[in-house]
Each structure stands twice: as C-alpha cells, then as structure tokens.
Chain A
C-alpha cells in the first residue's frame, strides 16, 4: 500500500470567527487527478492553499507524500517548521493561480528560470534549456522573450504552468486556472493540463470546467459550506448525484 500524495484528515481552517473549512477528509493517490467543484465561498481555494502551507490549518492533519505540511512530529508533539524547511517542501508542489500571477517585470522565460536559478541553484544555461523545453511543451516556444503584458490570458496561464513545472514538482495544484479566461482561450490551457495528467502528474484542480472533470479526473469532490458533500468517480457523481445540494449545484452549472 503506497502512501497517498495528499492526505487530509479533519482539516479545519478558521479566519478569526469565520470557519472556512469544517473538517475535510480527502485522499489523493500519486498519479491521480482530483477535481474539486463547488459554489464560490465553499472553501475549495482555501483548501488548496493549505496544501502548500500558504494558509495554515487550524485543526486536523494534512500531509503531502507522507510528511506533515508545516509541522514535524517529535515525541508526540508538533513542532512548527522553519521558513527554510517550509520553502523546501513548497518547491516540490507547483501551483497555478486563477489570475496567473506571472511576474510582470520578467519575460516569459525569465519567469520560468527565476525559481530554478535563484532557489534551486541550477546554472542559468541549464535552466534556460529546460525553460525552453517547457515553453515548447505548452506551445509557446516563440514567446520566450515576451513580457506577460504582451501575452493573452491563455498564453499567460500556460507560461504560469510552465513556471510551476520548472521546479519539477511531484504535485500540481490548480486554483480555477481557466476562470479568468475568455471562453475561446480556455481550450488551450485545458489541453496543456490534459497532457500533464496523461504524463502521470498528480493534480488537484479546483475548477468550474465540469467537462474537464468528467474526462480527466480520477475523482471528483463537491464542496459546499466548508465540508465535502460528495466525492467519488466523476462520471458517477455527475450522472447520479446522491445529495440534494450536489443536484441543485449541478443543475445550475451543467
């Protein structure tokens, strides 16, 4: 029995008095693609941010590849990790944001080689070579010297995916990667993600693209009000939702 890539047990997250996550239990096996759907404000994105410790969980346990996120367990007590240890773990988790968050003062290639050269300490020549391969993989080899403001939203998001892949992550998190895109640009981004899934990458995707979830997802999770309402095989959940809330949500988006 292999260790799951992501394991959440009773994960809670509270901002002051507002409880955003009210006990999430989820499991993502290595090489699988989990899609999370749900109305806005349901805590999907917050859960994603918790996985790479951009948000701290307030209760429960969350581990990636068998190691706790943000803590070390020693003699039955939890110890907070140092900044350096946290950043080390973040390097193994790629993240793609709804609004791309490319660095606007750097070219597409500059965005991609920034972390490998400054964080991982790879030589510039090697990083450039790998960066060009990644740009080619997302179909933007000719845009290496363009600044983000010169690229369309779809191109920016593909550069952002290449940037995350440049650190050779073992897990990729996608936070509504196509929500900020014009409809005709969504396809290109989904194609890249589809290819990535086919290559065996473990992915957690918060999305509104039901078609993508059905086609690519190994599991589908419906979240609402900070809890997992329903989870299972995407085709079964979408075809035959068990809960009233899932049914009413799907009737609105499908």
Chain B
C-alpha cells in the first residue's frame, strides 16, 4: 500500500518517479539467530528414537512374523468385532443415559436430582471390574426376573435370570451403566457452560424448556462435550478388555487364548495393541469431523479438513492471504463491534 494524500492523489516518492503506488516493499533479509541448544536437543531425541526403532527390527524376541501371522487370524478378528460392538453399544447407551442423568441432576425436582446424584456417586465410586463381575453373577443374586404386581403381588411372566442376561448383555450393562455416570458429569458441565440468556431467549420465543434444551442448549453444549466424550470412547474401547473376567471373548481375550496355547505372549499382545491403536486412530479422525460439525458458528472460520489443507497448499501462492473455506459466508463491509 502506498501513502495517499487527503485529496486522494498518491503521494509522490520524489521527482522522476511517475509510478510510485505499484512498487513492492523490499522484504527484510536478516541473519537469523543461531540456536545451538535446539540442534543438540533434536539430535539427542532423534538418536534415541533411532536406537528404539533399531531394536524393534533387530531384537528377535519381538517375533514380528508371529505378530503378523495372527494379525488377521479368525479368532482375533472375531474378538475385534466383539470389542467394537461392545464399545459402540455401550457408548450409545452411556451417552443417552448420561444426558438423562445430567438433565435429572439439573432438574428442580429434588427427588430426581438426588437420585441422579446417588447413581453417579455409586457408579463412579465402585471399580468397573467389580461392577462387571456383579452383572456377570447377577443370576446368583436374583434367580428369576418377573413382570407382575410388585411387593409380593401376582406375577404374569417369569424368566430365569441366566437366560435373560447373557454374558454379552452383562458386559453391555456393566460398561454402559458405568459410562452413563461419567457421561452425566460431562454433559452437565456442557449444559452449565451455556449462557443462561440462551434459555431465556428460547423461552421468550415460546419454546418449552424441553424443546429449548434439545434445539438450543444441547447442540451448543456439544462443543464442550465432544472432546471429553472422545476421551471416554477411547477409554471405553480399552475398558472392554475387562469383560474377559466374565468370560466374554473380546480382542484381548482372543489373543490371550492363543498365547495360552503357543506361549507367544509378547507377540500376541503386540497384535492386540496394534488393533487397539488402529481403532483409536479411526475414532480420533471421527472426532475431528464431529467437532467440526458442532463448531458451526462458534468461530468465524472452521478448521480446514486435511483435504482442504492439501488443496490450499497446492493452489495458494505465497503472500496471498488464506481464502476462507467456501462453506462460510464472508463478512464484508461494516467494521467495529465484531466480537
């Protein structure tokens, strides 16, 4: 930009320069500060990393052949499918339960909020392993489950608990009910983070508290809820390995069965860990896109997806400011007062 005089004519740089306004400013070319400490630290870290990676390939005890021999083994894959099923179903029930518990906890009805409080207190206060064992052996506690008039009245249908609650159901119950307690606190924090004015505005438009919660408060709370929820999902993925105590065959249990036969403990644990890492990576990518979806309107520009980033790197030249993503309207005109 060149200087402009009040009357709009460009300020001449001096005599004999007829075209002053189009000149590019001379860029600064300075000698950068030397940072030897950085170089030393980088070299040490890279060296250590090289030693570690080298050991992976040279230490025969890793038995990479066995790791990859069982990588696509039938029972390992079945275990993986079970692990994913458990994670997904338990998380879905856990999230729904968590939202219900959070709303109950914030309700003005003292009975509802106390019950929610006690539930959270109990399920967070006892080890998940104990809860899973409890559901696994529920048949010993309640032999039959019946539908009928409570408190000793007649019963219409009666089931053997063992038949009704399979190992899979017990695993889901244990994981989901525990998860609901944690999700409840996460959702509650999300709801509390939303300004009270949002609820008032929604109500002033004639929305019921339920509709306002569903359409206005929860969608905004999701922004706060999703990062810890991603954490919870990844925790859940790994916590499913606990269900082996009630004899449900998940990924880790399947690997354990194999190494109990061939004594290749470390390689099979690596096989299982690689699968856990792969699923975690997929979940992390999923989280990025979910966060992006609920980030609408929160900042003026959404973070670019990796694809958009690559496209921009290819097609954007230096010195040209970033082009806002096409999904967003570009604010123009009026200045000042923008938050």
CB distance from A146 to the nearest CB of B (A): 5
A contact residues around B328 at 8 Å (CB): 150
The answer to whether residues A150 and B337 also contact, given A101-B198, A104-B220, A114-B205 and a CB cut-off of 8 A, is: no
B312 interface residue (CB < 8 Å to A): no
Q: When chains A and B are docked, how far (Å) is the Cα of A167 from the Cα of B205?
A: 7
The answer to whether residues A106 and B297 also contact, given A97-B197, A185-B337 and a CB cut-off of 8 A, is: yes
CB distance from B300 to the nearest CB of A (A): 6
Question: B216: nearest residue on chain A (CB-CB)?
Answer: A103
Within 8 A of B (CB), among A91-122: 91, 93-95, 97, 99, 101-107, 114-115, 118-120
Question: A147: nearest residue on chain B (CB-CB)?
Answer: B297
Interface of B is mostly: loop
- Is the Cβ of A149 less than 8 Å from the Cβ of B300? yes
A90 interface residue (CB < 8 Å to B): yes
A46 interface residue (CB < 8 Å to B): no
- Is the Cβ of B200 less than 8 Å from the Cβ of A146? no
- Is the Cβ of A104 less than 8 Å from the Cβ of B206? no
| One of A106, A146, A167 near B206 (C-beta < 8 A) | A167
The answer to whether residues A83 and B329 also contact, given A99-B197, A148-B297 and a CB cut-off of 8 A, is: no
- Is the Cβ of A103 less than 8 Å from the Cβ of B198? yes
CB distance from B108 to the nearest CB of A (A): 12
- Is the Cβ of B211 less than 8 Å from the Cβ of A118? yes
A contact residues around B298 at 8 Å (CB): 104-105, 149
A52 interface residue (CB < 8 Å to B): yes
A59 interface residue (CB < 8 Å to B): no
- Is the Cβ of B207 less than 8 Å from the Cβ of A115? yes
B contact residues around A114 at 8 Å (CB): 205, 215
- Is the Cβ of B296 less than 8 Å from the Cβ of A147? yes
Interface string of A144-181 (1 = CB under 8 A from B): 01111111111100001001100100000000000001
Interface string of B279-307 (1 = CB under 8 A from A): 00000000000000010111110000000
Q: When chains A and B are docked, how far (Å) is the Cα of A153 from the Cα of B337?
A: 5
Q: How many residues of B contact A (CB 8 A)?
A: 33
A236 interface residue (CB < 8 Å to B): no
CB distance from B190 to the nearest CB of A (A): 13
| One of A84, A115, A149 near B297 (C-beta < 8 A) | A149
Q: When chains A and B are docked, how far (Å) is the Cα of A118 from the Cα of B334?
A: 32
A contact residues around B219 at 8 Å (CB): 105
- Is the Cβ of B211 less than 8 Å from the Cβ of A119? yes
The answer to whether residues A91 and B205 also contact, given A105-B298, A150-B331 and a CB cut-off of 8 A, is: yes
Seed contacts A87-B203, A149-B339, A182-B336; 20 additional CB < 8 Å A-B pairs: A87-B206, A95-B201, A101-B197, A101-B200, A103-B216, A105-B294, A106-B297, A107-B297, A115-B206, A115-B207, A149-B298, A150-B328, A150-B329, A151-B331, A151-B338, A152-B335, A153-B339, A155-B334, A185-B334, A185-B337
13 A-B contact pairs sorted by A residue (CB < 8 Å): A83-B208, A91-B205, A93-B204, A97-B200, A104-B298, A105-B298, A119-B205, A119-B206, A119-B211, A120-B206, A143-B329, A149-B300, A181-B337
Q: Which residues of A are in contact with B by a Cβ distance under 8 Å?
A: 52, 54, 83-84, 87-88, 90-91, 93-95, 97, 99, 101-107, 114-115, 118-120, 143, 145-155, 160, 163-164, 167, 181-182, 184-185
